[in-house]
Structure 1
Amino acid sequence: MNLTTKLFAGFVLISFLFTTVAIVNYRLSEDVISNSAFVSDSQNITRTSASLQRSIIDMETGMRGYLLTGNRTFLDPYFSAAALIPGQFDLLKKLMKDNPDQLKRVKEIEDLHRKWRDEFAVLLIEEKDKENKTSDLYRGIQKLEHGFLVLNEEGKRITDQMRIYFKDFNSIEYKVREARNARLAESIADTRRISTTLTVISVMLGLVWAYYITRLISRRILKMVNLADRISHGEYKTQIEDDANDELTRLSESLNRMASTIDNTFTELDSKNKELDQFAYVVSHDLKAPLRGIENASRWVEEDMGKELPSHIQEYLLMMRVRVHRMENLINGILALARIGRSHLEEGMVDVQALLFEVIDMLNPPQGFKVHLPERLPVVQGAKVELQQVFSNLLSNAIKYHHREHGNVTVTHQQLEDAHEFSVIDDGPGIEEEYHDRIFVLFQTLQERDAVESTGVGLAIVKKIIERRGGTIKVTSTLGKGSAFTFTWPTRVLEEA
């Protein structure tokens, strides 16, 4: 079976399980939502019932206060409650439309309240109003035309009956709510239990399948990683054996072909390197031999002619030897540039302070020049020969291209997060900005070669050494005030390809 098919089958299985869990959770949640909605409606019903009861009590209390005192201020809650009660009855009946028994009780309460209001409260309030208009003397409830309704407690019997209906109504509603609350708690518990069980089963099956697929793929990938690791250590003839005949098999075959190609390429490269080494030997030996012959011939001419040699001929012979030396230095510089990265140099910890003392001693600056070093310089990792070449070229250039017979060269150091930053600063003539990139190009010089002896290879060597280690080099300069060559030397060595 192809790897894609296995992965697809696993995803289908896991998707089916999670879909099942989602459907079951949805159905269980419907029951929870239904019970929650019922409980919420029941709470709304009891709140409306309680509010209605308070309104009825407010009407009764306001009416009694007015009848006893004749002060119409007591009628304010009466009329306020009277305005609210019709809407409260309508809302309560709307909430009970699906419960005929409770709806019947609400209508009975409404009928009793209407009877109390129309046949009791309204009559007594109107009579009390007439009494207040015709007499300033308070004569009591018994003097009213319908005062007997109060004395024989007719109104009290109606309100007591309403309280009984309210009590029965609320009692039934509380019992139903408790039952629904129990069902709600049970449905929540069922939802949690079933959802947790199904989710755990789904996750376990998904993990088992994922473990199987992961093990299947990881073993195959580990073989490929081992192949790449062996290739990185030079075992280019190694191969992967894979007979699964799936997508990773094709990848294994590609890696095997890559290993064979690398083996052939490195074999050819090794052959080319040997040819290049032979060519370097030829350049070093066969080109230098004629140059030495030319120099020797010029000296022989001087020796043979002696004092008879005209001054201008002596000048030409001297110029010839200078050109010969320049050509020899140029050949040495080209060979040094070509060997960077090809020859294995011993890596170690290099004391930059001691190395700079050696470089300065080797350069032997003229008396008018001073080289300033920090009190402390780091110990860095690298090939001492390469770092020596870098500082030697930068310091010699600072002295060689100085426009005065005296000057100062300063070396600074700064510790960066992952590299050391060094700067070689001089107070020479400076370099125009347009030449800042050009000076690092092979054979490029800013002065005539006859004015300053230079091959134009030094900064190219510096740039190649630094960039090969993963560092950078740049120049900043102000005309007439000097230049600063700043380079970074990484603290970690880059692995060679």
Structure 2
Amino acid sequence: MKSKIDPKIVVGLALAVGVLLLTAAASFWSIRGLKVQTERVEHTYQVLQEAEAITAVLKDAQAGTRGYLLTGDTLYLRPYSMATDQLPESLARMHALTVDNPAQRARLDSLQALVEQEFRILRPLTEIRTSMSQSAMQTLLDTDRQTLKQVRMLYARIKRNELNLLAQRTELQDIFEKATPIVVLVSAVLAVLIVVWLVMKIVSELADNRRLQGELASVNAEVSRRIAQIRTLAEQVVQGDYTVKITDSAEDNLGGLAASLNRMTQTLDESFSALEKRNQELDQFAYVASHDLKAPLRGVTTIVKWIEDELSAEISPQLRTYLDQMKGRLSRLEDLINGLLAYARVGRTAQPPTPVDVAQLLGEVAELVVPPDFTLRIGPDMPTFVTDRLGLQQVFTNLLSNAVKYHHRGAGHLEVTCRDIGRCYEFRVQDDGPGIAPEYHQKIFLLFQTLRDRHTAESTGIGLSIVQKIIDEHKGSIRVESAPGQGAGFIFTWPK
């Protein structure tokens, strides 16, 4: 059971974020608009102040110059001197303030030309020249009055234009002053409403989640109980009890699995019952083979011996050859029966694990199967561990006896080594015999397979099959490393 977030919460959250972004954008736009309009209003006032200051300074310079002409007192020239310093700076500030207003910029250019013209008129008047005639002075004063008149007219146009701009900008400023609080308030109210709705939805979602978690915990507990039943059944099956059943009739996957396991245990019970019956039949066969088959063989062998003992003087060389061949066939048939019985018994008679000193075990095996003319070297790292002594002994016995039996010389050298590879020991039985071609490395482990003529070396082809079966029963592995003329090494793993 999986809890999912209500899509309404996702939509509401997205809507809230969107409204907050719009609120922020509207507030930013409104506040910025108010700020811009306020700056523009201030800019208009600055233009008006600068224009008025230029006119006033120019007017003071003219009045001061006229006072100087009337009295000859140089104190009256201070306004003129100040004007020469202030007016260029004021005109420069006016240029900067009207850079975005081409019409005002044109008027300012005209104003600057008039100011320069005024200075050209006033400059000669500030210097007392006896050579200047009264008529020339009067002409300059008349021109000065006309210039100042033009300055006043130009100032009036500049002021009128700025006052129009001031009225427009003041109106926009008022609009933004009124709109900004409304926009912020409406946006805040919308944001609060959406947040309250979101909180309510989240609280409801959390309550649903807690309810779902309770249901999920209940379902998990029930599933855990049913899985525990399945685990108990599996453990009992591993221990060999195939009659166990699971009482789970629910119509879901676990119920279907329980029904399948019940059918499996029933099938296993029937199969192992049949297998037990087959094993009993195999035991009966082994008994018949060991008694009913071997008894006639021993009888025939005895008869052949009687013939040799009682008619030894009358037996021709050819008949003696036939009798020897018959004894060899009878002996190999008995070995074959014994090998089949040994192969059938592998894994069917459980042997309790006992402590095994592998070096000592190899010494005992060597006394039984290694002739005196062979040398056997046992590696120094042979372990002592608890395992199936009889199975390990049978593996070493078959491998060493095979190495002796198939050796191509009268004497040879055998070597057994061991190394620890973690969960297993790896043993190697090496000889210096004729070796085995690579194409036969797998074939030699098959039942009844031998690489030499059975008449040349007595062999049933069962020995290595028994070795592999024993090692397979112990969850190990075996392989051969060999090449013609280089001896053979049988490497097998044996679990600790």
Structure 2 gap ranges (5+): 52-86, 124-146
Q: Establish whether residue 435 from structure 1 lines up as the match of residue 443 from structure 2.
A: no
Q: Establish whether residue 326 from structure 1 lines up as the match of residue 311 from structure 2.
A: no
Displacement after TM superposition at 1:456 (Å): 0.8
Using the alignment, how far apart are the partners of 2:316 and 2:43 within structure 1?
A: 141
In the alignment, what sits opposite 2:88? 68
In the alignment, what sits opposite 2:141? none
Using the alignment, how far apart are the partners of 1:425 and 1:173 within structure 2?
A: 103
| Aligned match for 1:272, one of 274, 278, 282 | 278
| Aligned match for 2:418, one of 413, 427, 430 | 413
| Aligned match for 1:460, one of 435, 458, 465 | 465
Amino acid of the structure 1 residue aligned with 2:286: A
Say if 1:28 and 1:187, in contact at 8 Å, map to a contact too. no
Displacement after TM superposition at 1:439 (Å): 0.8
Q: 1:111-158: per-residue Cα shift (whole Å, max 9, x none)? A: xxxxxx2453332136658999x9999999x99965887799959989
Q: 1:234-273: per-residue Cα shift (whole Å, max 9, x none)? A: 4444555567788876765665555444444433332222
Displacement after TM superposition at 1:443 (Å): 0.5
Q: Secondary structure at the match of 2:435?
A: coil
Say if 2:435 and 2:482, in contact at 8 Å, map to a contact too. yes
Using the alignment, how far apart are the partners of 1:274 and 1:289 within structure 2?
A: 22
Structure 1 gap ranges (5+): 1-10, 83-116, 492-497
Residue pairs, 1:283-294, within 5 angstroms = 283-294=289-300
Q: Secondary structure at the match of 1:487?
A: strand
Q: What TM-score, normalized to structure 1?
A: 0.69
| Aligned match for 1:344, one of 350, 353, 367 | 350
Q: Establish whether residue 388 from structure 1 lines up as the match of residue 393 from structure 2.
A: yes
Say if 1:445 and 1:456, in contact at 8 Å, map to a contact too. yes
Using the alignment, how far apart are the partners of 2:389 and 2:423 within structure 1?
A: 20
Q: Establish whether residue 376 from structure 1 lines up as the match of residue 391 from structure 2.
A: no
Say if 1:231 and 1:259, in contact at 8 Å, map to a contact too. yes
Q: Secondary structure at the match of 1:268?
A: helix
Using the alignment, how far apart are the partners of 1:191 and 1:418 within structure 2?
A: 65
Residue pairs, 1:101-116, within 5 angstroms = none
- Go from structure 1 to structure 2 and tell me whether the alpha carbon gap of 1:294 and 1:189 turns closer, same or farther (over 3 Å shift): same
Using the alignment, how far apart are the partners of 2:225 and 2:342 within structure 1?
A: 47
Q: Secondary structure at the match of 1:471?
A: coil
Identity value in percent = 34
Residue pairs, 1:43-442, within 5 angstroms = 43=28, 68=88, 82=100, 117-125=101-109, 128=112, 146=151, 154=159, 175=181, 179=185, 186=192, 190=196, 193-194=199-200, 196-241=202-247, 255-256=261-262, 258-306=264-312, 309-311=315-317, 313-373=319-379, 375-380=380-385, 382-442=387-447
Amino acid of the structure 2 residue aligned with 1:122: A
Displacement after TM superposition at 1:447 (Å): 0.9
Q: Secondary structure at the match of 2:427?
A: strand
Amino acid of the structure 2 residue aligned with 1:427: D
Q: Secondary structure at the match of 2:347?
A: coil
Displacement after TM superposition at 1:180 (Å): 7.1
Between structure 1 and structure 2, the one with the greater Rg is 2
In the alignment, what sits opposite 2:75? none
Using the alignment, how far apart are the partners of 2:347 and 2:122 within structure 1?
A: 126
Q: Establish whether residue 37 from structure 1 lines up as the match of residue 22 from structure 2.
A: yes
Say if 2:359 and 2:378, in contact at 8 Å, map to a contact too. no
In the alignment, what sits opposite 2:452? 447
Using the alignment, how far apart are the partners of 1:356 and 1:184 within structure 2?
A: 94
Amino acid of the structure 1 residue aligned with 2:445: F
Q: 1:7-49: per-residue Cα shift (whole Å, max 9, x none)? A: xxxx6xx77xx46x22134224312321223313543665688
Q: Secondary structure at the match of 2:485?
A: coil
Using the alignment, how far apart are the partners of 1:139 and 1:418 within structure 2?
A: 118
Displacement after TM superposition at 1:391 (Å): 2.3
- Go from structure 1 to structure 2 and tell me whether the alpha carbon gap of 1:254 and 1:480 turns closer, same or farther (over 3 Å shift): closer
Using the alignment, how far apart are the partners of 2:155 and 2:471 within structure 1?
A: 113
In the alignment, what sits opposite 2:477? 472
Displacement after TM superposition at 1:277 (Å): 0.6
Q: Secondary structure at the match of 1:410?
A: strand
Using the alignment, how far apart are the partners of 1:405 and 1:201 within structure 2?
A: 91
- Go from structure 1 to structure 2 and tell me whether the alpha carbon gap of 1:158 and 1:273 turns closer, same or farther (over 3 Å shift): same
Displacement after TM superposition at 1:299 (Å): 2.7
Using the alignment, how far apart are the partners of 2:11 and 2:378 within structure 1?
A: 81
Amino acid of the structure 2 residue aligned with 1:121: R
- Go from structure 1 to structure 2 and tell me whether the alpha carbon gap of 1:156 and 1:258 turns closer, same or farther (over 3 Å shift): closer
Displacement after TM superposition at 1:433 (Å): 1.9
Using the alignment, how far apart are the partners of 1:442 and 1:78 within structure 2?
A: 113
In the alignment, what sits opposite 2:61? none
Displacement after TM superposition at 1:413 (Å): 3.4
Q: Establish whether residue 489 from structure 1 lines up as the match of residue 494 from structure 2.
A: yes
Amino acid of the structure 1 residue aligned with 2:453: E
Q: Secondary structure at the match of 1:267?
A: helix
Between 1:362-371 and 1:451-460, the stretch displaced more is 362-371
- Go from structure 1 to structure 2 and tell me whether the alpha carbon gap of 1:209 and 1:157 turns closer, same or farther (over 3 Å shift): same
Displacement after TM superposition at 1:431 (Å): 1.7
Cα RMSD after superposing both structures: 4.8
